[in-house]
Amino acid sequence: MTAASPAQAATPRALRHAKGVTLRKLAPRTRQAEWQPPRNRADPVSILVAQGAHRISALLPVRYARMAASPFAFLRGAAAVMAADLASTITAGPKVQSCGDCHLANFGSYASPEGIPVFDINDFDETLSAPFEWDVKRLGTSLVLAGREAGLAEKEARALARSMAQSYTQEMAHLAPLNPLAIWAERIDLAAAIAGFQDKQARKKVQSLLEARLASARSHFGLVAEDCGTPRLTEKPPLVMRLPEQDDAIRAAFARYIATQPSERAILLSHYTLQDVIFKVVGVGSVGTFCAIGLFSTPDNEVLLLQIKEAQTSVLAPHLDPSPFHNQGERVVVGQRIMQTASDAFLGWTHSTSTDTGEGEAGSLSAGQRQFYVRRLKDQRLAAIGAEFAQIGLPDYALLCGRTLARAHARSGDVATLAGYLGTGRTFADAIASFSTAYADQTKTDWETFCDAIKAGRIPAQVPQSAKKASAAAGKKS
């Protein structure tokens, strides 16, 4: 967790800004461009295999098949690989609450408590306090890879990372003179952001897309069947399916979550009863972790959907100071509350015990080892709107992501020091563009190595032929 030090709190803004300027001598901004794989660099496939040992083994072929689709898809699932590489790069010193898995598909939209669609980072599974450069470099790399995948010329793909970093720099300069309360309240209204898109055609398409997504959210995303009197969740294999073997464990974890909520939240939740649960496969990087949806309803069949998701140790953890949180779910929740302006009111954390489902098989992940965070089920179609924006207008999207990341970092970091280090010119942005291009090349090489490992049978990568068989196997092996 990143917080202002006593010295920082007692130092005027102008002096902290000057300190940021002096950091340029210790860590020249031009050196942020550097990327050379260390001589002792770990094999990326070995890192992924080790990470997979802590996931539901029956779902790993799905994860690997998704990662094999393209270098960008590989980057999404290889946060652990890039975290190890970033740990060897130069840093200026300032730390922020980091997303930890900052790529363009982890930005999106959700409704604020007032029902207004806001744009923000929407994935915090890897969040920790870390050097601010790590998020910027990962986001820049994802933009270069996405640009290449979209068929852009190399110069244009590189320009995406540069414009993102320049947007980050400009937003930090904008925020630096503001008082902490004003910075904390900053949010990005999605509709207003879209209206500012420079590409008129992209602006029109994105506005239509947003309207359709908001309509979807009002119908419970198509997950709830109400034709049988009592609302029930519907299966959508292979991504949403029932796991009878895990039903009791899910219900027990939800019950433990409710029992530990603050009094005001407990009063609200007391109006709802858990009616149904279902297992859900999520993301690219998260495939294989334990994730489920709980349908809660009132006696009048009014529905509340909550999602419970397993939280594992952050991929950043081996390269940073020890986390102050013993429950990884708490780490995720606190990180999200720090970085997002309008966080989910139902955020919480819990765990399962070995008595929920009995002891696991030898060598498997037992229920007693699982830690979770809980949130209101986000509309995946609305959350994924960021990735679809990117397909429609990458240049405008790059600017929006840079601005959004700066705002998220400013909530926990020393904005004045960061602004002093970054400056107002293009030095930092040019360096990030160079790093992002070089690391995009590295990612392509790693992806090719990964695909070779699949061909050689070192790792399995095929979508299970039967969703029911996969779900049964997942239940037995977890």
Q: What is the pLDDT of residues 123-148, one digit of tens each?
A: 999 999 999 999 999 999 999 999 99
Q: What is the mean pLDDT of residues 377-405?
A: 79
Stretch (H or E) spanning 304: strand 303-310
**pLDDT at residue number 423:** 97
Confidence band of 328 (pLDDT split at 50, 70, 90): very high
Q: What is the pLDDT of residues 26-65, one digit of tens each?
A: 999 999 999 999 999 999 999 999 998 888 787 788 889 9
Q: Which amino acid is at 320?
A: L
Return d(Cα 441, Cα 449) in angstroms, integer.
Answer: 13
- How is the chain split among helix, strand and coil, in percent rounded to 5? 55, 10, 35
Least confident of 62-71, 327-336, 346-355: 346-355
Structural tokens at position 212: 């359709």
What are the sequence ranges of the domains in the chain? 10-34+42-217+383-455, 224-378
Return d(Cα 342, Cα 291) in angstroms, integer.
Answer: 23
Q: What is the mean pLDDT of residues 315-324?
A: 94
Cβ atoms of 202 and 194 closer than 8 Å: no
DSSP string, 23-67: HHHHS-GGGGG-----TTPPPHHHHHHHHHTTS-GGGHHHHHHHH
Higher-pLDDT residue of 342, 274: 274
Listed residue (166, 139, 134, 173) closest to 21, CA to CA? 173
Return d(Cα 344, Cα 337) in angstroms, integer.
Answer: 8
Structural tokens at position 48: 């992924």
Which residue stretches of 294-353 are H helix? Answer: 328-339
Structural tokens at position 101: 């898995």
Listed residue (246, 215, 222) closest to 303, CA to CA? 222
Least confident of 170-179, 326-335, 350-359: 350-359
HSE, CB side, 13 Å, CA atoms: give it for residue 333.
23
Confidence band of 382 (pLDDT split at 50, 70, 90): low
Q: What is the pLDDT of residues 446-463, one digit of tens each?
A: 999 999 999 999 999 874
Q: What are phi and psi of 403, to 5 degrees?
A: -65, -45
Listed residue (123, 189, 153, 89) closest to 403, CA to CA? 189
- Judged on CB neighbours under 10 Å (0-12, 13-18, 19+), 182 is exposed
Return d(Cα 340, Cα 356) in angstroms, integer.
Answer: 33
**pLDDT at residue number 360:** 42
Confidence band of 16 (pLDDT split at 50, 70, 90): very high
Return d(Cα 251, Cα 244) in angstroms, integer.
Answer: 11
Q: What is the mean pLDDT of residues 10-23?
A: 95
Q: Is the pTM of this model over 0.75?
A: yes
Residue 467 pLDDT more than 50? no
First to last CA, the chain: 31
DSSP string, 153-186: -HHHHHHHHHHHHHHHHHHHHHHTTS-HHHHHH-
**Angle between helix 44-52 and helix 79-86 axes, rounded to 10 deg:** 130
* Percent share of the chain, pLDDT over 90: 61
Sign of CA dihedral 346, 350, 356, 362: positive
Average predicted confidence (pLDDT) for the chain? 86
Q: Which amino acid is at 300?
A: D
The SS3 of residue 353 is coil
Residue 238: cis peptide before it, omega within 30 degrees of 0: yes
